[in-house]
Amino acid sequence: MNKSLNHLPHPHEDALTLASHFTDLAPPLSARQAQLESSRCLYCYDAPCVNACPSDIDIPSFIRNIQQENVQGAAQKILSANILGGSCARVCPTEVLCQQACVRNNAQECAPVLIGLLQRYAVDHAQFTAHPFTREAPTGKRIAVVGAGPAGLACAHRLALHGHDVVIFEAREKAGGLNEYGIAKYKLVDDFARREVDFVLDIGGIEMRHGQRLGDNLSLSDLHLQFDSVFLGIGLAASRQLGLPHEDAPGLLAATDYIRELRQSDDLTQLPLADRCIVLGAGNTAIDMAVQMARLGAREVNLVYRRGLEDMGATGHEQDIAKANQVRLMTWAQPQDVLLDEQGRVRGMRFARTRLEGGRLVSTGETFELEADAVFKAIGQTFDDAALSDPLAQALNRVGDRIEVDEQLRTSVPGVYAGGDCTALGQDLTVQAVQHGKLAAEAIHAQLMLNQEAA
């Protein structure tokens, strides 16, 4: 664990009790429940749920398969559109995507079809004797994929399906990206993320190289020379800074660092626990951090945001999860000072009250203090600038701190594509990253085959 929290105590509950706090947030459907739920679908023509799905899954079709007890066929339809359909069924904010669009989600019925749980049921219960997709004839083309997160894995799988050889370069010792390191433990339990990676690689034609970090022992210039195309799915590896004095004090840490350690821990009793903690932020990462600290046994968890609840990136569903875990959501408060004890460790924060004035966020002049043993930053991610340090990487057009791509996921450098959180397209969602990887792979395949025909 990061040395910043070494001075904190450990959870007081035993390992089995702690583990029980991190079981499935939404328990899976039984066969009977899946049958009943699938029967509620109206199998709409031009279904609004499909239009709302970032990965274009044919939702009515797979649900009809479940109703007809063809679970294998349902899973095949899901995975043909979204090869990470298992994890997306667990972590997707369906309440603001497909289920919000469901025609049964109205004032009279007040209950959409539980599409996410049905998708999980289909993928979990499909018993494939071999990989469900067969590679096309080898093309002789080699593509480099940088990053083994959802975007990179989806891109690699689709390219392998088309007969290309793919090498994935991954900085960490495990593949999976946010699914492995950044999602709340109660959303993706056990070793599901690893098993899903193994499933993706089972198609063949994909080589995984770990310990390869762009800007360190890997350069875009070299990859561009050595491979026929390059796909960047590098995410956003650095945490944004508050810009306050004492930001490096013991007890102040990026939430993503703690979540990573928690997800990789085999013994939750050895994690540092802040009895009183503050989480800064308004997105799903902030909620994940706050809820997990509460489940580890923190007595007081305050999630603080500078604007109002309606502006939070976390959905109402996520906010409800926080409230159900006794997390206090404090709004209209902006960090002003990090408060330290005599040993130079975090003892709390001072906040300025805020309000909107002419559409701009301003301070009211009032301040207040919160005591805390630790403060976790969940104020957003940004590029690790070292990743794009070589000359070719610096030639990539940027939009703010993201890589600029067109509708085919092409960057400004010919032969280099990008997708997922590192780009300026869409929402920072797992399902969106999968779609980016899939679309980029199709664009790469089309271009390579066009070049081959021209030659």
Q: What are 340-389's pLDDT values in tens digits?
A: 999 999 999 999 999 999 989 999 999 999 999 999 999 998 888 888 88
What mean pLDDT do residues 399-428 have?
Answer: 92
Contact 158, 136 (CB under 8 A): no
**CATH second-level architecture of 239-380?**
3-Layer(bba) Sandwich (3.50)
End-to-end CA distance of the chain: 54
Q: Hey, which residues does 337 pair with through a beta bridge?
A: 350
What mean pLDDT do residues 129-156 have?
Answer: 96
pTM: 0.95
Position 388 scores a pLDDT of 87
Please, what sign has the CA dihedral across residues 140, 142, 143, 147?
positive
Contact 190, 230 (CB under 8 A): no
What mean pLDDT do residues 60-81 have?
Answer: 97
Position 183 scores a pLDDT of 94
What mean pLDDT do residues 11-18 have?
Answer: 96
Specify the higher pLDDT residue, 181 or 454.
181
Taking Cα atoms as reference points, which of 376, 359, 232, 349 lies closest to residue 293?
376
Three-state SS for 209? strand
Position 2 scores a pLDDT of 63
What mean pLDDT do residues 178-194 have?
Answer: 94
Do the domains spanning 142-236+383-454 and 239-380 agree at the CATH topology level?
A: yes
Which pLDDT band holds residue 206 (cuts at 50, 70, 90)?
very high
Distance CA 194, CA 190 (A): 9
Which pLDDT band holds residue 447 (cuts at 50, 70, 90)?
very high
Residue 440 has pLDDT above 60, yes or no: yes
Strands 238-239 and 165-170: unpaired
Position 204 scores a pLDDT of 97
Position 161 scores a pLDDT of 98
List the domain boundaries for the chain: 31-125, 142-236+383-454, 239-380
Which pLDDT band holds residue 455 (cuts at 50, 70, 90)?
low
Taking Cα atoms as reference points, which of 88, 58, 87 lies closest to residue 74?
58
Position 163 scores a pLDDT of 97
Taking Cα atoms as reference points, which of 273, 281, 270, 265 lies closest to residue 377?
281
Position 106 scores a pLDDT of 86
Q: Hey, which residues does 418 pair with through a beta bridge?
A: 232
CA–CA distances in Å: residue 2 to residues 14, 157, 261, 264: 22, 34, 8, 13
What's the one-letter identity of residue 59? I
What mean pLDDT do residues 172-180 have?
Answer: 96
CATH class of the domain defined by 142-236+383-454:
alpha beta
Poorest-pLDDT segment among 77-81, 122-126, 320-324, 420-424 = 420-424
Residue 28 per-residue DSSP state? P
Say which residues have a Cβ less than 8 Å from residue 358's Cβ, sequence separation at least 6: none
Distance CA 289, CA 254 (A): 10
- What pLDDT digit, counting tens, does each position of 19-33 carry? 999 999 988 999 999
Specify the higher pLDDT residue, 110 or 186.
186
In terms of CATH, what superfamily is 31-125?
Answer: Alpha-helical ferredoxin (1.10.1060.10)
Residue 1 has pLDDT above 80, yes or no: no
Which pLDDT band holds residue 454 (cuts at 50, 70, 90)?
low
